[in-house]
Amino acid sequence: MTQINFDASRVDPSIPFDVLPSGKYFAEITKSEVKPTKAGDSSYLEFEFTILEGQYRGRKVWDRLCLNHRNQQTVEIARSNLSAICHSVGVLKPLDSNELHHIPLTITVKLKHDYDTDNVYNEIKGYAKRDSLISNVSSTAAGLAASQSVQYPQAPVNDNTPPWVR
């Protein structure tokens, strides 16, 4: 038995979070750390992303890049993802992963189902500059607005009919 001096009425209880729906989210890297793999013979760079806007603001999503691994294809995938992150935040030659922190970017999140455990979790499948989603949404909205604009017939210039009758 361990004695604790704690007042739960003064602390909000934690709330379990469900996975995020698949989609694009504005986020920033808020933490990064190198960790050993379970086997202990390799390591990965783990990034913590924090959602910046919308309904899921403040939620966390993680990605692991195995930059040191016995499988060369795993390393190549990790390096490609790190390059995508670097291009997305505009830091092409970081000397430390901290240089990638707190710079907004767009992440593409997908749902992944682990059939062995029947668990569903989030996986980051892409990175883009923050403005790429804004310009995509803006151009889509502009196109939609243009396609839905109503054309009213114009009255003749010399028409003396009152406007409410036309």
Residue spans per domain, the chain: 17-134
Going by pLDDT thresholds of 50, 70 and 90, the confidence category of residue 90 is very high
Q: Domain 17-134: give its CATH code.
A: 2.40.50
| DSSP strands (E only) in 37-98 | 43-51, 60-68
pLDDT of residue 1: 74
Torsion of CA 84, 62, 64, 126, to 10 degrees: -30
Q: What is the pTM of this model?
A: 0.71
Greater confidence (156 vs 130) lies with 130
Greater confidence (84 vs 161) lies with 84
